[in-house]
Amino acid sequence: MQIPFGQPSLGAREARALMRALRNGRVVGNGVLSLKAQAHLRELTGARHALLTPNATQAFELFLHTGAGAAGGFLGPGDEVILPSFSYVSMANAIAARGATPVFVEIERETLGLDPVAVASAITERTKLVLTVHYGGMACDLDGLLAVCGERGVPIFEDAAQAIGSTLRGQHLGTFGAGACLSFHATKNVTCGEGGALLLDDEGAMRMAEIAHEKGTNRSAFLRGEIDKYTWVGTGGSYVLSDLLAGMLDVQLERTAELNARRLEIWDLYQAGTQWLEDAGSVFRCVPRTGCDHNGHIWWMVAQDQALADRIIDGLRGEGIQATFHYQALHASPFARQHLGTDGLDLPLTTQVSDCIVRLPLSSSMNRKKAETVMRALKKVV
């Protein structure tokens, strides 16, 4: 492709960080480079605690080990978790793997985040958690969700995988609920190839998390010199990130403002350059929430029908431009229909978005000239 959908911005600084880690033999997890990156992440987000993980999925799984992930205890069979159907499958998988039931509800048109009214209607005595997604790094209706969930005593987990550097009224996304995950996958604004993080505020949850983080042991306390030996003290898994990747991540975290600014320049250009499509009634586009300073992670539009979406994507590919679709609605997936009984679930906006969304190329490696080429090609193919 002449213009790929995305490409990470990696250079000499990241290469030097990797080489330093190799020369020093710092390749295992929870070493000095991980501690440095975690401190950097706490400073950047304002979170009290941050733990690096191999990916955002495992950050959420780690959260579920803390007991903070369920009203009244740990998540298990008979429990329900409310989340958007228009989302990546990872979180639903983690919920189902614990025997709990993912409950899919409708999204809002402006940001494709959870609709608080739909959440309020879906909460039952079995609801233990609401999982919201800040799609494209854009704040969902947190005020509405916090009000609904606060009234009903249900904790919120923020999937902020795409939201590094995004804030709402100056507060970093991922610091409003009981916990949050971030992703540092190669497609994200800030990357180490594969990586993630769990953000927490509660001290008790953090103590549980660091035990689960190190295979159910108190190794973290041992590494801090608080005990002379470590042993098995709880349940957990292997959730640490290699220091090799943590060193690279720390460099990228230092570049967060720069990397986000590059994306925002392209995002703004696309937003201005596609107004004509919305004026014609052909698409609807993101409406950033008042007070949200987003990171420009994704630029999207939803076509009036699938035929138009396909025409745009296929036409742009014919011009050497990799535009693409996104999530397939989880409630319509074979697994959900077979195992969760979602055949009769009607989520019309989710279905339209899943069928008709178009994402344009956007990355920190992209320049304005290429974005202008995309805009010219779009006018040609529509």
pTM (2 d.p.):
0.97
pLDDT at 302: 99
- pLDDT over 80 (residue 122): yes
CA–CA separation, 330 and 327 (whole Å) = 8
* Residue % of the chain over a pLDDT of 70: 99
pLDDT, one tens digit per residue, over 127-153 is 999 999 999 999 999 999 999 999 999
The answer to whether residues 252 and 184 touch, using CB atoms and an 8 Å cutoff, is: yes
Q: Within the chain, which residue ranges are assigned CATH 3.40.640.10?
A: 12-254
Active-site residue, selected from the candidate residues 36, 188, 215, 369:
188
- pLDDT over 70 (residue 199): yes
Nearest residue to 139 (alpha-carbon basis) of 176, 104, 103, 105: 176
Q: What is the SS3 assignment for 279?
A: helix
pLDDT at 102: 98
More confident residue, 361 or 223: 361
303 Cβ partners below 8 Å, 6+ apart? 282, 283, 309, 312, 356, 357, 358
CA–CA separation, 39 and 17 (whole Å) = 17
The answer to whether residues 50 and 197 touch, using CB atoms and an 8 Å cutoff, is: yes
Question: 74 pLDDT band (50/70/90 cuts)?
Answer: confident
pLDDT (mean) for 28-39: 94
pLDDT (mean) for 99-121: 98
Q: What is the DSSP letter of 328?
A: P
- pLDDT over 70 (residue 8): yes
> Can you identify the CATH homologous superfamily of domain 257-323+360-381?
Aspartate Aminotransferase, domain 1 (3.90.1150.10)
Q: Mean pLDDT for the chain? A: 97
pLDDT (mean) for 76-91: 98
pLDDT at 72: 65
- pLDDT over 80 (residue 70): no
Q: Within the chain, which residue ranges are assigned CATH 3.90.1150.10?
A: 257-323+360-381
CA–CA separation, 181 and 54 (whole Å) = 11
The answer to whether residues 208 and 66 touch, using CB atoms and an 8 Å cutoff, is: yes
The CATH code for residues 12-254 is 3.40.640.10
Spatial strand order of the sheet with 167-168 comes to 171-172, 167-168, 292-293
Catalytic residue status for 188: yes
- pLDDT over 90 (residue 174): yes
- pLDDT over 80 (residue 1): no
- pLDDT over 90 (residue 311): yes
